[in-house]
Chain A
């Protein structure tokens, strides 16, 4: 089994530093969420991991059974880039066998595995079709198959869910969970935060080329997330009293007696309950942690703008 270690990696194009001192790791059997706004340096980092470009500084190491692997184990890595493409005039089976061949999978085995995957994704009737005859979703499934046909030990998927219908998304999610359960290290980059929250064990967040956060979901929510509360009170004046509390922000009146707001960073539910006036006649209250989506927006837009 293979894991990945990225250590203090930097990359510049001309005068512009696009990746600045980035470090993270991904373990076997783990799904690591690789997040960042557009232009954050994700693709450049992924390209450095894949050996497509080389870092100016820092080290990228692959760990096989705990020991450092020699170079980039290309035949054990599967990659689905954000910029999608397949040779338009090529036939589906031919292209899958070619991509597997690049990873040293013999033709016969590649064909057998390709049939399995095509059946799994309902594409068995398209094996001899040209890529240009496929729909966008079908082509995306073929690309996904191309990225995993050689049974990689590390899979890097950049926006694998974009353009997929919900049924196909569920199918992809299930496959990723299965791969991770079988010991594959999955690095997943996506802007669909609900899926990331559902799938990822750990998150690495990058912004403007710099590391913002690296840890598990609980930690990121603890560090950046606050509680979102919506509640219903008996009378409108009670909402005004609530709005005057120092511990809340982003107050939004939903109706004459309903409102939603966030608690200030670091304040737990018990702190809020203690600060809440005792005579506030609360009819209904819902409290939830900020979603990954909220945290992402908060970091991407900037805390000041959020306020």
Chain B
């Protein structure tokens, strides 16, 4: 009875929504994410006070231009004449180093950079600026007018125009799709592992037999899967609600326009179908284990299956219409993530979406059947974690 599934769903929701661990993870996870996103910037800011001081023995007169091109609070250039004096100063002041620029620098393009402290990013900035000065000076020596210099120096501006309007990749929609893909990944791993723990707990707490005397095993399994999907959706919705004001107002992101340009039905279908596919794996694995520590190689490997999609993300982004991308969109263990990613970067033909959906739905059906068999026997096997050959044997048991 569908009602039995909903009873289990309700129980799982009630238990977890009152569970301190769930509530803490609901509140703490966004903080952790903000911390991880903001920490590199914070560190960068904290790192700013370090200033690169360089002495120049400037035979070519590049110092004024160089100081102009680089920020004063990060680079200090001081011109000196004597090498020995400069070396002493560098050691005494613990400066970054000194450069010797000979008068024939504009002809040879060569200079010496003596460093005391190595700072690769600062060196990169100095090198780029000096190269620019060299280039401009050489063009100027060829009697080219300053206005033409700017003209010669300008970069090409490429306007990307899709021949079919629908095929045009839209950056904002792309951001929404990629964010959604990350959320689905998160949903699969967090809700999936909670689901696995729930099945494991049912077995460990010896409740399975009591519950199964009232309802059928597949109703128990379905109820758990649905319950944890809803718990995951509640979690995601809470986090999205928290982050939306920041995205819209602080980052000035045109959310409504982005949503209108995104293929939401496709994303929802593949997101939910992906969760259902992997949740059947997690719930059946949970029913074969006595505790998380006793997970054998089989269980550990199966738990990593959703990670397969990660292998395909870069090839899909680089070449959405390539063979690898097309394969990943059909193969059921990767198609949910692959299709969401691919749809962000190209307009996937409807026939390919349809084929992928059919294969995915058929796979979910097969996975549910297999998971139900394992779940049915696994839940009643107390006191031991099953191995692969036992699970294979269970599949042959008559219901």
Q: Is the CB of B213 within 8 A of A87?
A: no
Q: Is the CB of A87 within 8 A of B210?
A: no
| Known contacts A52-B209, A85-B206; A90 and B15 CB within 8 A of each other | yes
Contacts of A193 in B (CB 8 A): none
- How many chain B residues touch the partner (CB < 8 A)? 25
Task: Name the interface residues of A41-77: CB closer than 8 Å to any CB of B.
Answer: 47, 50-54, 56, 74-75, 77
Q: Is the CB of A87 within 8 A of B201?
A: yes
C-alpha spacing A14/B389, complex, angstroms: 13
A11 — nearest CB in chain B belongs to which residue?
Answer: B398
In angstroms, how far is the closest chain A Cβ from the Cβ of B236?
A: 24
Q: Is the CB of B207 within 8 A of A14?
A: no
Contacts of A53 in B (CB 8 A): 380, 399
Contacts of B7 in A (CB 8 A): 98, 101-102
Proximity string of chain A (79-99) to chain B, C-beta cutoff 8 Å, 1 when within and 0 when not: 111011111111000100011
In angstroms, how far is the closest chain A Cβ from the Cβ of B17?
A: 12
In angstroms, how far is the closest chain B Cβ from the Cβ of A264?
A: 43
C-alpha spacing A171/B53, complex, angstroms: 90
Known pairs A52-B212, A81-B206, A85-B205. 5 more at Cβ < 8 A?
A: A50-B213, A52-B209, A53-B399, A101-B7, A102-B7
Q: Is B4 an interface residue (CB 8 A)?
A: yes
Contacts of A54 in B (CB 8 A): 398-399
Could you tell me which B residues sit within 8 Å of A by CB distance?
A: 4, 7, 11, 14-15, 19, 201, 205-207, 209-217, 380, 382, 393, 397-399
C-alpha spacing A79/B210, complex, angstroms: 7
C-alpha spacing A13/B380, complex, angstroms: 14
C-alpha spacing A90/B14, complex, angstroms: 10
Q: Is the CB of A14 within 8 A of B213?
A: no
Contacts of A98 in B (CB 8 A): 7, 11
Q: Is the CB of A86 within 8 A of B207?
A: yes
| Known contacts A101-B7, A103-B214; A87 and B205 CB within 8 A of each other | yes
Task: Name the interface residues of A243-289: CB closer than 8 Å to any CB of B.
Answer: none
Contacts of A33 in B (CB 8 A): none
C-alpha spacing A56/B393, complex, angstroms: 16
C-alpha spacing A87/B198, complex, angstroms: 10
In angstroms, how far is the closest chain A Cβ from the Cβ of B372?
A: 14
Which of these, B206, B215, B216, contacts A83 with CB under 8 Å?
B206
Which of these, A80, A84, A102, A143, contacts B214 with CB under 8 Å?
A102
In angstroms, how far is the closest chain A Cβ from the Cβ of B165?
A: 55
Ordered by A's residue number, 12 sampled pairs between the chains whose C-beta atoms are within 8 Å are A47-B209, A47-B380, A52-B213, A54-B399, A83-B206, A87-B15, A89-B15, A98-B7, A99-B210, A102-B4, A102-B7, A143-B210
Q: Is A146 an interface residue (CB 8 A)?
A: yes
Sorted nearest first, the 3 A-B pairs with minimum C-beta distance are A85-B206, A102-B214, A79-B213
In angstroms, how far is the closest chain B Cβ from the Cβ of A33?
A: 20
Q: Is the CB of B209 within 8 A of A83?
A: yes
A147 — nearest CB in chain B belongs to which residue?
Answer: B210
Q: Is the CB of B380 within 8 A of A52?
A: yes
